[in-house]
Structure 1
Amino acid sequence: MTYSIDAFPGRTISVNGKSYLYFGGTSYLGLQTDAAFQEIYLENLKNYGTNYAASRKANVQISVFEEVEAYLAGLVGSESCITMSSGYLAGQLVAQSLNSDTHELFYAPESHSAVHIPGKETYQNFGDLGTAITAHFKSSKSTPVVFTDSILVLEGAYPDFLGLRKLPLEEIILVIDDSHGIGIVGKNGNGAYERVKQLNAKEVIVCCSLGKAYGIQAGGIFGTKSRIEHFKNTDFFGGASPAPPAAMATLFKGEKIFEEKRKLLNQNIQWFVKSLKNLKLLNYLDNYPAFYFSNPKIASFLEKNNVLITNFNYPNEDSPLMSRIVLSAAHTKEDIAVLAELLNSL
């Protein structure tokens, strides 16, 4: 069922006057409704305005973009970074730039639509993907580019990337969508980049949304200096308006809040896992806030007991049902106790 609401869904939401606990969405750190984070954003809004609808190539340029990109590159551990107005645009810039005669694009299981080029096949498992790449080497000299998500619960991606390790990575460019990793996994929330670099692929490019954990309207791309310069010189980048500069500036001053929220989120994850009697009811990664399941009765049962979760066909109506419970730093211990008690009663 689809619900229409008129405010951002925090730890609770109101639908037609009825209150529900909300364990869905992607606000992992709960920043969008956090008063301290909003205060920083509002101060930056006064300085930078609500938006900056001009090309990054314009003759008047706001310095905060390059400053924040240098900060993000340092956080993630990449040589360089550029930002876009959304994670989807960041993914499409990468995919469309690499869609050329010198590259062949391959899509791993569950790879996000943000990095997809129409007409390209998505492989159902890494075994089939590896077979296709082996066949490609026999018939073409173009470089394979493998697109995958950093967080794949069923395929076991982060942190060990066992699926990718089956591939001849030294001959492959890896593009990792880290939208659901950056900000919450890795050292200080630096995401998956450093882990992926350890796989020794031919090249690593990471793209992501910054709107999930970090709660701002922006996307990022991380990689080598030469690759990032190539992206900067495309019509795609030059023709697009950037992320709101107020959002960029907020990343600078929000570091202490991010750290505090990650601690709260980790506590919530530990409380939840310890409270569950039957862990096999859900699929999940250690120390990660999303818990997946395939039994449709679970979502219906929770809804009847005033708990709403993420439960819809994604990314389109013909896609499989995505059902997941999402914890955030905004949830209280009491919220989690209610959720765990309901699941334990199944």
Structure 2
Amino acid sequence: MSDWLAALDRRAELRAKAGLTRTLRPRAADDDVVDLAGNDYLGLSAHPAVTAAATAALAGYGLGSTGSRLVRGSTTVHHDLEEDLAGWLGAERALVFSSGYLANVGAIRGLVQPRTLLVSDAHNHASLIDGCRISGAETMVTPHADVDAVRAALAAAPNRPAVVVTESVFSVDGDLAPLAELHAVTRAHGALLLVDDAHGLGVIGPGGAGGVTAAGLAGELDVIVTATLSKALGGAGGVVAGPAEFVRHLVETGRTFVFDTAPPPAVAAGVRAAVGLAWAGDQLRAELGDRVALAVRRLRAAGLTGSVPEGAVVSVTAPGPEAATAWAADCRDRGVAVGCFRPPSTPDSRSRLRLTVNVGVPRADFEWALEVIVECAP
């Protein structure tokens, strides 16, 4: 065997010994597992209005977008979706990307100037971390949700452009960033605030418009919002929303936008239908909040340690990576899918099960799934 392949095998062996092996598990369309692992918080991915909109666009446009947005990939569906997203988020303009990952990388790169300092929360998602790295800018990582540390980082770099980078609802434990306080600090130092609202959009805030809106920051010219379209909206893609000048800058210079194939029109049409449902989905959000509270109560009653989330992510601490893997496998064997987060996917040394609450799951199935998780606990 070639030396480089042998080296990869050795690295795989080391990951296996550490309990860090990852495996692809294809699922069928008629899979009957109770899903507490996916991110379809509002159950919109299979909503009849969503699938009907996608089907109509598929018939009209075909399977793919046929090119990048600046060549032939932009359709009226994409533009209508961007207008709806901007209106929902209270932003001047919104720009759709093919993934939330590329939206984050592109947004951060677009905000960087010579000498820019990026101040990044220690619990930020990998796409934000990679965006900081790819930008080439100096990055200071501050302790999680520590406003004083952010203030100190900005004060130590006077007369430099700076961007504070955070999630709204953090993807690991579901806690909410102190966005209003962070914005006050960034504004006091003439910095910008970039918020990844992936796990907040559709779930929290007036009309489900996310954590930025909930914090009263919608439309602020020094706030940039990013999000995926694959979580509460049940589709795929990403969005960057903010001042019109910044969106124009991304259209003209953003490499992850300019050189990437546009999202398929059918996906954009389905997501647009989902935006309308999520915007008017207060009843769905009330049920979601009730289920989150039920999950926290049930897990705590069983003596399990977990997060008290602001959104719909509930994490439960596992004794270690092997225990987390075995726990998730036991749940799957009994028909319940849960997330299994281990280092290096976690920002600390703790392994967790991550439960993403989904109102598309029948209530009785959801309650049964909680019992299975408790019974399978190590």
Normalising by the residue count of structure 1, what TM-score does the alignment of the two structures yield? Answer: 0.82
Between 95-104 and 214-223, the greater mean CA deviation after superposition: 95-104
**One-letter identity of the residue aligned with 1:282:** G
Between 78-87 and 42-51, the greater mean CA deviation after superposition: 42-51
**One-letter identity of the residue aligned with 2:76:** S
Structure 1 contact 78–193 (Cα < 8 Å) conserved: no
**One-letter identity of the residue aligned with 1:193:** V
1:319 deviates by 7.0
Alpha carbons of structure 1 residues 10 and 290: separation in structure 2 relative to 1, 3 Å = farther
Structure 1: stretches of 5+ with no match in the other structure:
14-20
Instruction: Report whether the alignment pairs 1:130 with 2:151.
Output: yes
Structure 2 contact 174–315 (Cα < 8 Å) conserved: no
Alpha carbons of structure 1 residues 329 and 3: separation in structure 2 relative to 1, 3 Å = farther
1:36 deviates by 5.0
Compute the RMSD of aligned alpha carbons.
3.3
Aligned to 1:329: 359
Alpha carbons of structure 1 residues 317 and 202: separation in structure 2 relative to 1, 3 Å = closer
Mapped partners of 1:76, 1:289: distance in 2:
19
Alignment of 1:101-250 (within 5 A): 101=114, 103-115=116-128, 116-118=131-133, 120-125=139-144, 126=146, 127-137=148-158, 141-152=159-170, 156-158=175-177, 160-161=178-179, 164=182, 167-170=185-188, 171-198=190-217, 203-236=222-255, 237-250=257-270
**One-letter identity of the residue aligned with 1:249:** A
Alignment of 1:46-61 (within 5 A): 46-58=59-71, 61=74
Mapped partners of 1:28, 1:58: distance in 2:
34
Q: How many residues align?
A: 334
Counterpart pick for 2:315 among 289, 292, 297: 292
Mapped partners of 1:155, 1:309: distance in 2:
15
Alpha carbons of structure 1 residues 161 and 238: separation in structure 2 relative to 1, 3 Å = closer
Aligned to 2:17: none
**One-letter identity of the residue aligned with 2:38:** G
Aligned to 1:313: 342
Mapped partners of 1:198, 1:235: distance in 2:
25
Mapped partners of 1:342, 1:61: distance in 2:
46
Aligned to 1:17: none
Structure 1 contact 32–215 (Cα < 8 Å) conserved: yes
**One-letter identity of the residue aligned with 1:333:** R
Structure 1 contact 95–117 (Cα < 8 Å) conserved: yes
Aligned to 2:288: 265
**One-letter identity of the residue aligned with 2:187:** L
Alpha carbons of structure 1 residues 162 and 10: separation in structure 2 relative to 1, 3 Å = farther
Aligned to 2:56: 43
1:6 deviates by 2.7
1:121 deviates by 3.9
1:207 deviates by 0.9
Mapped partners of 1:298, 1:304: distance in 2:
10
Q: What are the superposed Cα offsets for residues 298-344 of structure 1, whole Å, 9 maximum, x if unpaired?
A: 77456435233111336659974353111102222222222343566
**One-letter identity of the residue aligned with 2:161:** T
Counterpart pick for 2:45 among 29, 32, 43: 32
Aligned to 2:90: 77
Structure 1 contact 41–246 (Cα < 8 Å) conserved: yes
Structure 1 contact 180–212 (Cα < 8 Å) conserved: yes
